[in-house]
Amino acid sequence: MLNFHEIWEHLKVPSVTEKLRAVGDILQYALPWLALIFSILGVPHQAPAAVAHVMVVYWILAMLASVLTTAALKKVFNYTKWGARPDGRLNSFPSGHATAAFAAFWFLLILWGGSFVVLLFLIGAVVTAVSRVLAKRCHTKDVITGAVISAVTVVIVLSSTTVSQFVISLLS
């Protein structure tokens, strides 16, 4: 027999995919901010305050480089077949969610090397990327490209002597 009450209750509960999408939406913002917090907390207490300021400036530059590169590529590819989402809408390539989440991971990996916290950030970034694919908001190529963009931009920012001189000039 058809029980409308059970059907109604089932329809009110979001699907696993919707819950996973919500987790990915939260992690795209939470991971970069947590990376900033952990990078500041990782500065030894006896270090001068300028070291924490350097971490903040590097974080801002790394996140800006990743986000702006992704935004520029979205503008270029938006009206091509690469820009179409699996659900037919635009702005799929590259994944901004994956770029932001992986930028946080790469930032901490380069600063700290392998650690348990960095592993947690990797897991969070992968969950974010997978959530976009399972929710049919991005293709696999979109999230992989986002991860690569973040790796390249964060490495460039953190290893560039020009950026280092810029940061030093800001703090002088």
pLDDT tens digits for range 106-152? 999 988 888 898 999 999 999 999 999 988 889 999 999 999 999 99
- pLDDT tens-digit series, residues 119-132: 999 999 999 999 99
In a domain? residue 72 = yes
Domain total of the chain:
1
Residue 84 domain flag: yes
Structure tokens at 108: 């901490």
Who contacts 71 (Cβ-Cβ below 8 Å, separation ≥6)? 96
Residue 99 lies in a domain: yes
Assess if residue 146 is contained within a domain.
yes
Residue 160, in any domain of the structure: yes
Alpha-carbon span 80 to 100, nearest angstrom: 23
Burial of residue 30, with CB atoms counted within 10 A of its CB: 0-12 exposed, 13-18 middle, 19 or more buried: middle
| Domain-located, residue 126 | yes
CA distance 110 to 118: 10
Q: Classify residue 11 by burial, with Cβ atoms within 10 Å: 0-12, 13-18, 19+.
A: exposed
pLDDT value of residue 17: 76
Its pTM stands at 0.82
Domain extent at residue 29: 13-171
Neighbours of 168 (CB within 10 A): 12
Within-domain flag for 155: yes
pLDDT one-digit tens code per residue, 10-68: 545 567 778 888 888 899 999 999 999 988 887 666 667 777 777 888 899 999 999 99
Give a yes or no: residue 55 inside a domain: yes
